[in-house]
Amino acid sequence: MTWPRLLGARRAPGRARDSTGALATLAASSAGIIASPSLIRPVTFSTSLMKRLSREPIHIDEIRARTNLPIEKVIATLAMMELKGLVRQVGGMNFIALREAREEYTVGVLVQTNFGDRQQLRIAGVPVGTEIRDQLPMRGKSSSIIIVIATDAPLLPHQLKRVARRASLGLGRVGSISGDGSGDIFIAFSTVNFKVTKSSGLVKVSMLSNSELDPLFEATVQATEEAIINALVAAETMTGRDGNKVMAIPHDRLRQVLKEYNR
């Protein structure tokens, strides 16, 4: 679809947001400002509270003081966490943690998006490709995409393979079908445990339990989708050899189409 390689990122565990980083920048600009690579690391209120709770009872006023959150947010979040079995009220507005605070990890996705057919393109669920039929970016073979996934979560090779496979789901969310001629490449790596290759003798490695991988899968899917959209929005019209011209997606028409679909 386009040439640029941009980065999308998500922090997990935690509630990963929809991939609207580039779209928000696009919508905020009447002049078609280019969206920059996004690094989104949302931290939920429950995550903030869990880090400040322990097995010892803590009064709600102390929790509010430690988190610096409005009291209504503290009350609502504690109620939700109690329903999820994360905390328990032990009387007198005192609370204890029933589980240890979970670590947070970042997932980043780098894409080379020289691939795909415009007619298949979907952005935020909108069939943009069928609404914008002219100014096609390329003709002929649809080419392939390269997706590189990086994380600071402690994962072993077999787990990274599972993460890499989720990139195809993010790819599908923008409309790609990975056609017959596609040679799509997905790779994933972790920045943890890299020192074991430099050691001799017995070494120790760390890994997340498989039951803890779902947030990483979700982050991978959403970050892949956003990285592709970022590249599309950031791409500029290019003129190459022999006057060959590749058109960028028109920002004004993209905004119009998204507005028609209440996006």
> What are the residue ranges spanned by the domains of the chain?
7-41+104-260, 45-97
Local confidence band at 187 (pLDDT 50, 70, 90 cut-offs): very high
Confidence check: pLDDT of 7 > 70:
no
Please list the active-site residues: 144, 182, 184
Q: Which CATH class is domain 45-97?
A: mainly alpha
Residue 162 has a pLDDT of 97
Residue 163 has a pLDDT of 97
Residue 3 has a pLDDT of 33
34-39 mean pLDDT: 32
CA distance 190 to 7: 16
Confidence check: pLDDT of 42 > 50:
no
CA distance 160 to 213: 10
207-232 mean pLDDT: 91
- Dig out the tokens for 116 from the structure: 């795909």
Query: In CATH, what number does 7-41+104-260 get?
Result: 3.60.70.12
The pTM of the full predicted model, rounded to 2 decimals, is: 0.68
Model pLDDT for residues 126-139, shown as the tens digit of each residue? 999 999 988 776 55
227-238 mean pLDDT: 91
Distances in Å between the alpha carbon of 247 and those of 18, 31, 236, 251? 27, 18, 7, 12
83-94 mean pLDDT: 85
